Amino acid sequence: VLQIDRGRIVLPGLIDVHVHLRDFRQKSKETIRTGTMAALHGGITTVFDMPNTDPPITNSETFEFRQATLRGKSYADYFLSFLIAGNCEEAKKVQAGFYKIFMGASTGGIYSEDFESDYACAPGIVSVHAEDARIIREKPERPPEAEVRAIKEALEAAERLKKPLNICHVSTADGMKLITKKNLPWVSFEVTPHHLFLTRKDYERNPLFKVYPPLRRESDRAFMWKNFSKIPLIASDHAPHTQEDKENGAAGIPGLETEVALLLDATNRGMISLKDIVEKMHTNPIRIFGIRNKGLEIGKDADFTIIDMKEEWVVKPEEFYTKARWSPWEGKKLRGKVVMTVLRGSVVMEEDEIIGKPRGVKINAGKG
Ligand code: DOR
Ligand code: ZN
Ligand code: ZN
Ligand code: ZN
């Protein structure tokens, strides 16, 4: 039977600016293959690769090794990063898409002794994990003040240096208020699906939901929804760990395969619009990080995320491509599903199946 109207909708290819693909010595957590297949399955056509790998991407040799590891193996297009922590001379040698700085220790343990000097030396846009090192050493539960203090410091540096800064995974109402009040045009920030859809009550019920920054109060979550229009970027902070590592206290939540669907479900509930999703996962990532080749203008890559707003489905981690076969949303029924992903003109995912070989390429920054 010829179906002339399946009721499907096309979105421009969605971009996740915060993904931990692991690989290297942590292939048991995730590989380039599994992580980027998960991206396509979730409707993400470009991933930003995070550098807190083992070994970490802190010198030009490891950066070149990262490039070689992704080349020909990635199913999604990718934007590469470099981790700055007192190693500025090395940072200047590489052509990274963005530079990551940790103000306090997270997975991998590396953090900056002097945020402002590392930020000052970065040859391109900096994405910062804003949690204050001293506060989290004294208070390992990472209270809101750890984030708020770090955001304050980061904003003061941004005001002085006037160079591009993206603040990762903002989780607190007070942190977000500081950023939006200052409203510096060269400063952006991300919010994750887990901070939008979960609270610390969920963590109290299930210790597997441990994540940095932690899940917060309902009032923080409510503030973010109330001020949703002010959020420039939604990014998963997809952080795969083995079951064993999670049970031993590893922080991180996998998000690539639920992120877009959660937002589609919220759209069906009237909380947001498809325009919001496109703005925060396509238009703004391209603008903020200066990505060439992507966008809706004539002549750009034919990347699309095709969705079915009516399809209802249940989150089943055993059907994930990520090696992190668990999800805070396991068993949740969602209305709205990614049904097809198109990367530079090729159908690369259809009805939960990955189609063809790895076609992902490195994406470069810089206009023109
Ligand atoms: O919970 C987290 N997990 N937060 C981070 O900042 C890093 C991430 C990871 O790499 O596991
Ligand atoms: Zn982080
Ligand atoms: Zn992260
Ligand atoms: Zn299915």
How far apart CA 88 and CA 118 sit, in angstroms, is 7
* pLDDT, tens only, 41-57: 999 999 999 999 999 99
51 C-beta closer than 6 A to ligand 1: no
* pLDDT, tens only, 65-108: 999 999 999 999 999 999 999 999 999 999 999 999 999 999 99
Q: How far is the CA of 169 from the centre of ligand 3 (A)?
A: 8
DSSP string, 158-185: HHHH---EEE-----HHHHHHHHHH--T
Active site residue 237: yes
189: left (phi over 0), alpha (psi -120 to 50) or beta: beta
Which atom of ligand 1 sits closest to the CA of residue 108?
Answer: 10
251 C-beta closer than 6 A to ligand 1: yes
pLDDT band at residue 368 under the 50/70/90 scheme: very low
Average pLDDT over residues 25-50: 98
Q: Give the closest residue (by CA) to ligand 1 atom 3.
A: 252
129 C-beta closer than 6 A to ligand 1: yes
What pTM was estimated for this model as a whole?
0.97
Please tell me the number of the ligand nearest to residue 129's CA.
2
66 C-beta closer than 6 A to ligand 1: no
Maximum alpha-carbon separation in the chain: 65
ipTM of this complex prediction, to 2 decimal places: 0.93
- Three-state DSSP class for residue 323: coil
